[in-house]
């Protein structure tokens, strides 16, 4: 029972940054913007979160620094793609490369330092329940934020007028603009939200998952988050399911290495990324599902009439 509880806890911890980053990117793509800079925003959130916590002595300050770093990076992307109308794919890739290089420079002096771990919730009696106690009542605050993000995003997109407006912009920005909707303003806000989520996901890595700073510690999780959005066909509940599936694959390969199955460790380490490729191939074969849910204007620049 203790081993099962431990495995479930580690899966939840591994899935949380994927879930948060993917939810943020899903909102961005629902507005018709394709931001491939999630990896760069996550790694900047990780290094700034760790630096903020180390310098201030408070992991909560670190969380705020991580969110701010992701949001600022996303604003750079927004200015280039929404105001200047630069190519979204090229800009996102450049943002990732910039984030990886800049984070290495910022975090150079923090390598090897002990981190400030964000404390987990503890409710006497409830947190001590067998199996579900720590899983439900003993997680870190960012885990509960990820659950709230899934529920809140689903409600916002499909139960509010503003969410409907955002989705209409992602499908046909020209028609939305003709109706007097501020397309660029909505897209700016969506990109800012996505960047803040990516920064929070990065802060979770350096303050909860492994409370230390290691260069390139995101290890491709930003790309997995991008694949999760496609896997989930732009639906929040499916994003959550996909994040926990990928979290299970990640933790599963670690346990497989620990018990010594005789499989090369390099192959086991590649399983999460191999699963990403398989999911994308399977999803691409279902053309009907992809066409129904994909924002029609995804990745297309929009310049309103002057």
Tell me: the pLDDT tens digits for 115-150?
889 988 888 877 777 778 788 888 999 999 999 999
At the second CATH level, the architecture of 2-116+125-293 is Orthogonal Bundle (1.10)
Residue carrying the six token digits 């529920």: 151
Could you give the percent of the chain with pLDDT greater than 70?
A: 90
> Mean pLDDT over all residues of the chain?
88
The answer to whether residues 52 and 61 touch, using CB atoms and an 8 Å cutoff, is yes
For the stretch 33-62, pLDDT in tens is 999 999 999 999 999 999 999 999 999 999
Question: Reduced to 3 states, what is the DSSP secondary structure of residue 151?
Answer: helix
The domain locations on the chain are 2-116+125-293
Q: 272 or 181, which is more confident?
A: 181
Q: How far apart are CA 105 and CA 107, in angstroms?
A: 6
The C-alpha angle with vertex 230 and arms to 232 and 209, in degrees rounded to 5, equals 75
Q: How far apart are CA 52 and CA 50, in angstroms?
A: 6
Q: What is the pTM of this model?
A: 0.91
The answer to whether residues 21 and 222 touch, using CB atoms and an 8 Å cutoff, is yes
For residue 179, give every residue at least 6 positions away whose Cβ sits within 8 Å of its Cβ, in sequence order, or none: none
For the stretch 171-197, pLDDT in tens is 999 999 999 999 999 999 999 999 999
Token output for 272: 């999460």
Q: How far apart are CA 274 and CA 34, in angstroms?
A: 23
Q: Is residue 268 over pLDDT 90?
A: no
In this prediction, residue 266 carries a pLDDT of 67
């Amino acid at each position: 029972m203790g081993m099962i509880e431990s495995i479930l806890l580690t899966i939840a911890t591994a899935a949380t940054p994927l879930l948060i980053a993917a939810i943020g990117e899903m909102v961005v793509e629902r507005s018709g913007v394709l931001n491939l800079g999630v990896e760069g925003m996550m790694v900047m959130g990780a290094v700034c979160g760790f630096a903020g916590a180390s310098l201030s002595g408070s992991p909560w300050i670190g969380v705020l620094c991580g969110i701010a770093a992701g949001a600022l990076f996303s604003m750079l992307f927004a200015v280039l793609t929404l105001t200047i109308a630069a190519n979204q794919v090229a800009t996102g890739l450049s943002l990732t490369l910039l984030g990886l290089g800049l984070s290495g420079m910022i975090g150079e002096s923090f390598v090897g330092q002990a981190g400030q771990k964000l404390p987990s919730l503890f409710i006497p009696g409830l947190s001590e329940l067998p199996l579900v106690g720590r899983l439900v009542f003993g997680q870190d605050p960012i885990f509960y934020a990820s659950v709230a993000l899934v529920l809140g995003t689903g409600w916002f997109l499909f139960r509010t007028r503003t969410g409907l407006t955002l989705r209409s912009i992602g499908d046909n920005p020209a028609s939305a603009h003709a109706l007097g909707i501020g397309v660029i303003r909505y897209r700016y806000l969506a990109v800012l939200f996505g960047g803040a989520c990516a920064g929070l996901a990065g802060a979770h890595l350096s303050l909860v998952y492994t409370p230390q700073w290691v260069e390139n510690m995101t290890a491709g999780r930003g790309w997995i988050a991008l694949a999760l959005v496609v896997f989930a066909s732009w639906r929040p509940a499916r994003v959550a399911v996909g994040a926990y599936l990928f979290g299970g694959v990640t933790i599963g390969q670690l346990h497989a290495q620990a018990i010594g199955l005789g499989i090369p460790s390099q192959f086991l380490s590649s399983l999460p990324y191999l699963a990403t490729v398989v999911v994308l191939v399977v999803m691409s074969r279902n053309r009907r599902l992809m066409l129904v849910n994909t924002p029609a204007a995804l990745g297309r620049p929009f310049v309103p009439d002057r």
